[in-house]
């Protein structure tokens, strides 16, 4: 019933990588920095948009990291990780943790150790700290599952990823409308 409501021209049974990228580019996701610290005190931080909710009871969430990522080993070693959900004032920080290749991406970045030890970045829209419960290789990514240990929100507007664009939760409706105009 639901499927028949979708026009045949909008359906593609086995999407090509290009079609999949275009399709995913129309679905907004939160921009966050996943952070962790290992027992030697070394820190990792990576810009991600792959955060997803998994279960409410117990409270499980997940995210995916490319297996070729420089930070992968540290996230595999760490038992705690944090999601630093960015505000719409933190676009530069979003790009910083996606682009900087140096061993310490935290140089010049305001942060503090969270209650479970993972680095927590200052001025974020929301923070979630998790205890890692599982990690699995899937395709060319590692998927990390975490049980939420603490959550904190502010009243700031969030930063959202939609295709190649970063936008504010405030402007999201306009961006989606523009995209639909181009369909």
Ligand X SMILES: Cc1cc2nc3c(=O)[nH]c(=O)nc-3n(C[C@H](O)[C@H](O)[C@H](O)COP(=O)(O)O)c2cc1C
User: 135: which strand partners?
Assistant: 144
Per-residue interface string for the shown chain with ligand X, residues 147-166, x marking contact by CB under 6 A: --------------x-----
Q: Smallest gap, in angstroms, from Cβ of residue 121 to ligand X?
A: 14
Q: Smallest gap, in angstroms, from Cβ of residue 18 to ligand X?
A: 19
Q: Smallest gap, in angstroms, from Cβ of residue 94 to ligand X?
A: 6
Contact 70, 129 (CB under 8 A): no
Among 25, 38, 60, 66, which residue interacts with ligand X (rule: CB under 6 A)?
66
Among 28, 35, 36, 47, which residue interacts with ligand X (rule: CB under 6 A)?
47
Among 25, 38, 42, 50, which residue interacts with ligand X (rule: CB under 6 A)?
50
Reference 136, options 126, 128, 145, 125; nearest CA is: 145
Structural Rg of the chain based on CA atoms: 18
- 32: helix, strand or coil: strand
**In angstroms, rounded to a whole number, what is the distance separating the alpha carbons of residues 3 and 23?**
17
Q: Smallest gap, in angstroms, from Cβ of residue 162 to ligand X?
A: 10
The DSSP bridge pattern shows strands 60-66 and 52-55 to be antiparallel
Site of interaction with ligand X (CB under 6 A): 31, 46-50, 64-66, 69-71, 94, 98, 161
């Amino acid at each position: 019933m639901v499927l028949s409501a979708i026009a045949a021209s909008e359906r593609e049974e086995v999407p090509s990588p290009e079609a999949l990228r275009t399709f995913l580019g129309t679905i907004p996701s939160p921009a966050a920095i996943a952070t962790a610290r290992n027992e030697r005190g070394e820190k990792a931080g990576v810009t991600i948009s792959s955060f997803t909710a998994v279960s409410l009871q117990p409270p499980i969430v997940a995210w995916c990291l490319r297996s070729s990522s420089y930070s992968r080993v540290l996230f595999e070693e760490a038992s705690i990780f944090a999601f630093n959900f960015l505000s719409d004032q933190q676009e530069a920080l979003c790009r910083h943790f996606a682009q900087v290749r140096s061993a310490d991406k935290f140089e010049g970045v305001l942060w503090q150790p969270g209650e479970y030890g993972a680095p927590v970045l200052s001025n974020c829209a929301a923070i979630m700290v998790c205890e890692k419960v599982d990690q699995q290789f899937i395709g060319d990514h590692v998927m990390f599952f975490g049980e939420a240990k603490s959550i904190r929100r502010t009243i700031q507007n969030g930063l959202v990823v939609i295709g190649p664009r970063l936008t504010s939760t405030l402007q999201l409706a306009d961006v989606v409308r523009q995209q639909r105009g181009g369909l």
